[in-house]
Amino acid sequence: MRIALREISPATPCGYLNDRDWQMEHMRMESISAAEYQMLMEEGWRHFGHWVFRPVCKTCRACRSVRIPVDRFLPNRSQKRIARENRGILEPVFGTPALEEEDLDLFDRWHAFQSSNKGWPEHEMGNFSSFYDTFIDQPFSVEAWHYRRDGKLVGLGFVDVLPDALSAIYFCYEPVVRDRSPGIWNVLRLIEEARLRKLSHVYLGYWVEGCKGMNYKRNFNPTEIRNEKGLWVAPEDWSDPAT
C-alpha cells in the first residue's frame, strides 16, 4: 500500500443531517490491494476509485460502518416478497467496470430524480471524467452489476470483490422500476452472491443514525455496526453520543 496524498477536508454542511457539519479524511492511494483495503474498511474507511475516506467530524459520530454476516442472514417477510417478485426478472450480469454511455445516462437520471424528489444537490450531467475517476478507474478488483428489463438497463451497481467480503460501492436504478424495490433486491443479491462465493460479509457503507434514507440498512437481520471501540455490534447496542 502506497499513499500519494493524505488530507483532512474543511468542515462543510453535512449531506445526511441538516443540523450538523461533516469533515472527511482522504487518502489518495498510489497502490492498494484488495486485502489491504478490506483491513482499512474494517477500520471504518470507504473508497471511490483511488480515494479512500472516513468521517472525522469533531462533534458527531453518527456515521457508522455497517455489514451483514451472510451465513446468519434471515430475510423478513417484506424481503422475501421483494425476492419473489424480482427473481428471474431483474437479475444482475457481472462484468468489469467500463466507461459506457448508458451507464452514465442511468446514473444521471437517478441523480436528477433524487434531486427533484429528495432535495439532493444538483448534479453535473454527462461528466464522463468524474464517473471514470469514481467508478471505473479502480486500484483492485471491482465488478459492475447490470440489471436489465426487456433489454434496457434499469439498475447499476459497483461492488468491491475482497478476500472475505463483497462491499457495495454504489447502486442506482431507473426511477420507473422503484416499485420493485431494486435497492433492497440488490442487497439481497449481494448476500446470495457472497454465500455462493463462500465469503463472510456484505458491507453496505455507512449507516447514519437520524437519517431516514439510511434506515433500510438496519432491516437486514442480523446487521452489525462498528462502534467507537472498533467492535462490530448489533445496532441496539450502540447509540450516538453526540445526540
pLDDT tens by residue, 62-94? 999 999 999 999 999 999 999 999 999 999 999
- Residues 130-173: pLDDT tens digits? 999 999 999 999 999 999 999 999 999 999 999 999 999 999 99
135, 9 contact by CB (below 8 A): no
- Residue 171 belongs to what H/E stretch? strand 165-173
3-state secondary structure (DSSP) of residue 73:
coil
Q: String of b and e for 44-68 (b: at least 16 CB within 10 Å)? A: bbbbbbbbbebbebeebbbbbbbbb
Considering just the CA atoms, what is the radius of gyration of the chain in Å?
18
pLDDT bin (cut points 50, 70, 90) of residue 242 is very low
Question: At a CB cut-off of 8 Å and minimum separation 6, what does 123 contact?
Answer: 108, 111, 112, 115
pTM to 2 decimal places? 0.92
Residue 239 has pLDDT above 80, yes or no: no
Q: Where in the chain are the domains?
A: 63-237
Task: Provide the pLDDT for residue 119.
Answer: 66
Task: Provide the pLDDT for residue 243.
Answer: 35
- Residue 64 belongs to what H/E stretch? strand 63-69
As assigned by CATH, the class of the 63-237 domain is alpha beta
For residue 38, give the C-alpha cell: 478490506
SS3 string, 8-38, reads ECCCEECCCCCCCEECEEEEEEEECCHHHHH
Neighbouring C-alpha atoms within 13 Å toward the C-beta of 87:
8
First to last CA, the chain: 36
Alpha helices in the chain (DSSP H): 34-41, 77-86, 101-118, 128-131, 182-196
CA 42 vs CA 20, 34, 38, 165, 231: distances in Å: 25, 12, 6, 11, 9
